[in-house]
Amino acid sequence: MDSRRQIPDGNRIRELFFRIIQRPVDLVDCTMDEQDYLLRMYRSAGLLGRIAHDILPSPANERCSEKLREQLRSAQVVANSHERMLRWEVNRIQRAVGHRHSPLILLKGAAYLFLGLPTAKGRLVADIDILVPQEKIDQVERGLLAAGWFTVKLDDYDQKYYREWMHELPPLRHPGRAAVVDVHHTILPPTSRLKPDPKQLFAQAKPLKEHGLAVLGPADMVLHNVVHLFFDGDLQRGLRQLLDLDGMLQHFADADDFWPTLAPRAQALGLARPLHYGLRYCRRWLATPIPEKVIEDVARVGAPPTPVGLLMDILVNAMFHPRLPGERSPAKNAAQFALYVRSHWLRMPPSLLFPHLGRKLLRRWTKPAEA
């Protein structure tokens, strides 16, 4: 018998990739060759911990091969260590600066975990993001520096870039710990074309049971996700962010006032366009159940002109198209680059954008190890 491994059909692997995201136990019924491809793809996308979290406690675990079970257990161990790290880092941050400003508003992965959202299970976290009022940000930075954190970006240009043009301090790290702390004073750069009022975000923040901590309101958490997804230059984890959005929408939908207030809140903050994109692609790629009236209400105030919408469909579809292990994908690379440039175009005026991109390209060419 020929024991050589077979190369699975690429189209089937891509179809399985999204089906298993929505129903992870189906991974157990795939062939060994399919599992090998899918495990590598989920690991690359930062999603293997999520898959492991759903399969290992389920009856499907009994049908796993020993090799598959070992891979899933390893992913679960890594995800659990990330969760412990995140909780410890938040505890240390709170100890260092909680007396200077309270409550600290947790963003993104930290917020999902402390709020107990299902999307936090198995999620890998590299950064801890917090939000504080701009008038308190210098005090918070001094507190973190006094407690041992140091600024990661030491270049004079990077310091100027963050402190004058961005919505956050330069990243901070503590010696001996891998996590990076990002301290925000709003959710978009002050140079951005969209300028949500941070006072409105603070006004609707929800305190957590842990004293001195809070999260954004449900609608604002959704809006922060879509802003980060469609205005941030790092698109390598775009699918994970879309899954976070899917998880939040389904979780918050249990509250009677969530859907009726989402579109008005987006309009009040000037974020209807990114919300339109988020809902559109969440439903297209993940079949997220979203009321048709909400889709229509958001599109009415947030949909782009038809040519722009068609171009975004092409770029986003290419970005979310799963890349097979070892596959070269010029279309995906081109889409990611176009969306990267778009995000900077929306975040910075031309007078800042072109010198900034030129400097980044020059740095990449002259210092490849630091790019």
| DSSP secondary structure code for residue 253 in this structure | T
Q: What is the pLDDT of residues 211-231, one digit of tens each?
A: 789 999 999 999 999 999 988
Confidence of residue 143 (pLDDT cuts 50, 70, 90): very high
| pLDDT recorded at residue 235 | 66
Query: What is the distance between the alpha carbons of residues 344 and 356, in angstroms, rounded to a whole number?
Result: 9
Considering only 53-62, 146-155, 248-257, 281-290, which range has the smallest mean pLDDT?
146-155
* pLDDT tops 80 at residue 332: yes
Give pLDDT, residue 2.
Answer: 45
Percent of the chain with pLDDT over 90: 68
How do residues 44-65 score in pLDDT, each as one tens digit?
999 999 999 999 999 999 999 9
Is pLDDT at 80 greater than 80 in this prediction?
A: yes
Where exactly are the structural domains of the chain?
217-371
Q: Is residue 370 scored above 60 in pLDDT?
A: no
- 293 exposed, middle or buried (CB, 10 Å; 0-12, 13-18, 19+)? exposed
Query: What's the rounded mean pLDDT across residues 271-280?
Result: 97
Tell me, yes or no, if the pTM score tops 0.75. Answer: yes
What pLDDT, on a 0 to 100 scale, did the predictor assign at position 196? Answer: 95
Average pLDDT, the chain: 90
**What long-range pairs does 304-312 form, CB within 8 A, spacing at least 24?**
304/273, 304/276, 312/277
**Residue 13 contacts residue 324 (beta carbons within 8 Å):** yes
